[in-house]
């Protein structure tokens, strides 16, 4: 009987030479994905710079406190967009000797940072809206520039949020998803400002309808609550990812895929974790201990392929154990007990 112990890690600089062509293909694919994510994040930064500059210029020209407040909001968006761009660039770096699983977790940290900003923004909006409702102090200047800059803001935010959501889904990036959520909230906040501008204008035309001045504050509170709920859900998912959480039932799917390979008696000690969008899987399988090392090696390759078939792009490490040795060890433990 031959005691077989086969393990062939799939980490960046430890991949087997036998899979050289596959490794090169993965690297090229990962590089293209990184470029796509960086492009989406960079476009978001450019849009944020443009909107912030436009709002500052119009706010100073008109003396509108409302537009200047939106400019400050856009400046916060710019900081978040730059953070996302930096995180996407860093997460695309290959694994090294200090980060064997790569740098993908940086995206999760960026998503958590943006989620915190969103929740803080919601709190500020609610506080401002409640203060306005209690004091009745409405500082909104209505002119054509006010409407124009907010309309442009909505158009740009719709465009870049769609782009970011598409890129986030394509590259499974939490950082881009958080950035998209951030700019989606800008659409709602800009719409609320437009509602407020319209309501104030109507109250000027119809003095009997002074209650319309409070419409923007009420709408702002509703939007803030919705954004808070969505942000909280994203934040919980981010924490789940940072704690190496995986979807329920993933281990069972991996076991079933491995055990479907002829010659595999059992799949156990399954571990899985995400590093950004990249999934890493470790698994132990029981095989015939009398077969040659070469045959056992081929069998573990088949197990890897079976797991990658249900989890495309995942990095799999398979450890083979002799079926006979496993049975003897189990009997020994039973006798000792």
Do 125 and 54 fall within a single domain?
A: yes
> How buried is residue 220: exposed, middle or buried, by Cβ count under 10 Å (0-12/13-18/19+)?
buried
- Does 281 have pLDDT greater than 90? yes
Give the end of a domain, one of 189, 208, 242.
242
Same domain, yes or no: 113 and 228: yes
Is 85 within the bounds of a domain?
Answer: yes
- Is 163 a domain residue? yes
Chain-centroid distance of CA 105 in Å reads: 10
Return phi, psi of residue 47, to 5°. -65, -40
What does the pLDDT read at residue 24?
A: 35
- Are 146 and 175 within one domain? yes
Cα–Cα dist 253/197, whole Å: 54
Could you tell me the CATH number of the domain that includes residue 269?
Answer: 3.30.70.1350
Query: Which range, 203-207, 214-218, 319-323, has the best average confidence (pLDDT)?
Result: 319-323
Sign of CA dihedral 50, 55, 56, 62: positive
Query: Is residue 115 located within the same domain as residue 160?
Result: yes
Residue 19 CA to residue 260 CA, distance in Å, equals 23
Residue 216 has a pLDDT of 66
Query: Is 128 contained in some domain?
Result: yes
Q: Do 115 and 209 fall into the same domain? A: yes
- pLDDT at residue 337 greater than cutoff 60: no
Question: With 50 as the cut, is the pLDDT of residue 22 above it?
Answer: no
* Cα–Cα distance, 334 to 337 (Å, whole number): 5
Q: Domain total for the chain?
A: 2
Q: Is residue 11 part of a domain?
A: no
* Range of 103-107, 217-221, 226-230, 329-333 with top mean pLDDT: 103-107
The residue among 204, 221, 242 that closes a domain is: 242
Please enumerate in sequence order all residues whose Cβ is within 8 A of that of 6, keeping only pairs 6 or more positions apart, or say none: 293, 296, 297, 300, 318, 319, 320
| Helix, strand or coil, per DSSP, at residue 317 | strand
Whether 23 maps to a domain, the answer reads no
Q: Do 141 and 224 share a domain, yes or no? A: yes
Domain span at residue 290 reads 246-336
Same domain, residue pair 126 and 250: no
CATH assignment at residue 190: 1.20.1510.10
Maximum average pLDDT range among 49-58, 228-237, 272-281, 317-326: 272-281
205 in a structural domain: yes
Whether residue 324 sits in one domain with residue 210 = no
| The domain boundary residue, chosen from 195, 213, 242 | 242
Residue 196 covered by a domain: yes
Are residues 135 and 271 part of one domain? Answer: no
- Short-list 180, 159, 160, CA closest to 169: 180
Same domain for 215 and 254, yes or no, is: no
For the chain, what is the mean pLDDT? 77
What percent of the chain clears pLDDT 70, i.e. is strictly above it? 78
Are the CB atoms for 74 and 55 separated by under 8 Å? yes
Give, in order, the Cα–Cα distances in Å from 26 to each of 16, 253, 286.
14, 23, 28
Q: How far is 75 from 78, CA to CA, in rounded Å?
A: 5
Whether residue 253 is found in the same domain as residue 228:
no
Give the model's confidence band at 225: pLDDT under 50 very low, under 70 low, under 90 confident, else very high.
Answer: confident
pLDDT at 14 over 60: no
In a domain, 318, yes or no: yes
Within this chain, do residues 192 and 251 fall inside the same structural domain, yes or no? Answer: no
Beta-carbon contacts of 168 under 8 Å, excluding residues fewer than 6 positions away, are: 174, 176, 177, 179, 180
Say how far residue 273 (Cα) sits from the centre of its chain: 15
């Amino acid at each position: 009987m031959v005691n077989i112990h086969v393990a062939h890690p799939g980490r960046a600089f430890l991949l087997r030479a036998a899979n050289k062509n596959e490794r090169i293909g993965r690297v090229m694919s990962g590089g293209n994905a990184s470029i796509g994510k960086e492009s989406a994040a960079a476009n978001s930064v450019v849009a944020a710079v443009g909107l912030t500059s436009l709002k500052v210029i119009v706010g100073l020209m008109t003396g509108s406190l409302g537009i200047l407040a939106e400019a400050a909001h856009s400046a916060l968006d710019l900081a978040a967009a730059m953070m996302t761009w930096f995180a996407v660039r860093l997460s695309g770096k290959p694994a090294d000797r200090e980060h064997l699983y790569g740098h993908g977790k940086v995206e999760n940290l960026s998503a958590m940072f943006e989620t915190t900003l969103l929740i803080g923004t919601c709190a500020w909006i609610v506080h401002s809206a409640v203060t306005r409702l209690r004091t009745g102090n409405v500082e909104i200047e209505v002119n054509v520039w006010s409407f124009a800059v907010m309309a442009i803001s909505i158009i740009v935010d719709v465009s870049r949020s769609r782009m970011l959501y598409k890129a986030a889904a394509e590259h499974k990036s939490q950082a881009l998803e958080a950035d998209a959520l951030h700019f989606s909230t800008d659409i709602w906040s800009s719409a609320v400002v437009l509602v407020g501008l319209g309501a104030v204008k109507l109250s000027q035309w119809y003095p009997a309808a002074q209650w319309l001045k409070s419409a923007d504050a009420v709408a702002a509170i509703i939007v803030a609550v919705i954004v808070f709920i969505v942000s909280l859900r994203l934040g919980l998912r981010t924490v789940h990812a940072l704690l190496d959480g995986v979807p329920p039932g993933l281990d069972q799917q991996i076991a079933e895929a491995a055990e479907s390979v002829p010659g595999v008696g059992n799949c156990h000690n399954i571990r899985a974790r995400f590093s950004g969008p990249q999934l890493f899987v470790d698994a132990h399988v029981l095989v015939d201990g009398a077969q040659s090392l070469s045959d056992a090696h081929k069998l573990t390759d088949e197990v890897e392929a079976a797991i990658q078939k249900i989890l495309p792009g995942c990095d799999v490490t398979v450890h083979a154990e002799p079926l006979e040795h496993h049975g003897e060890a189990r009997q020994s433990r039973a006798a000792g007990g």
